[in-house]
Chains A and B, each alone.
Chain A
Amino acid sequence: MEPIRTDFRGYEGQYVAIDARSGEIVIADKDPRIVLEKAKGRNHVVVRGRVPHADEPIYVGLG
Chain B
Amino acid sequence: MAEQQPLPWLFPYREDPQQTRLGQPILRPFVQVSLVNGDESTTMLDGLVDTGADAILASDLLADYLGVDLADHEGETQHAIGGRTHLARYKTISLRLHPHDGEIHEYREWQAQVGFIEDWHSYSFVLLGSVGFLDRFTVSASRFAQAVAVEERDAFDQRFGVPTA
Query: What is A's interface to B at a CB cutoff of 8 Å?
Result: 1-6, 8, 11, 15-17, 19-21, 23, 32-33, 36, 39-52, 54, 56, 58-59, 61-63
Q: Are B46 and A48 closer than 8 Å at their CB atoms?
A: yes
Q: Does B156 contact A (CB under 8 A)?
A: no
Instruction: Give the distance in Å from the alpha carbon of A21 to the alpha carbon of B82 in the complex.
Output: 30
| Set A3, A42, A59: member contacting B18, Cβ < 8 A | A59
Q: Are A32 and B61 closer than 8 Å at their CB atoms?
A: yes
Q: Which 7 A-B pairs have the closest CB atoms?
A: A20-B102, A44-B102, A1-B147, A63-B82, A39-B43, A49-B124, A51-B17
Q: Are A54 and B14 closer than 8 Å at their CB atoms?
A: no
For window 124-142 of B, CB contacts with A under 8 Å fall at 124-125, 127
Beyond the given pairs A40-B43, A44-B101, A59-B122, 12 more chain A to chain B contacts, judged by CB atoms under 8 angstroms and listed by A's residue number, are A1-B13, A5-B25, A20-B102, A40-B42, A45-B102, A48-B124, A50-B17, A54-B19, A58-B18, A59-B18, A62-B82, A62-B123
Q: Smallest CB–CB gap between B115 and chain A, Å?
A: 13
**Pairs A–B under 8 Å by Cβ, sample size 6:** A21-B101, A33-B61, A46-B45, A48-B46, A49-B121, A63-B81
For window 56-109 of B, CB contacts with A under 8 Å fall at 61, 65, 81-82, 100-105
| Set B14, B32, B53, B123: member contacting A50, Cβ < 8 A | B123
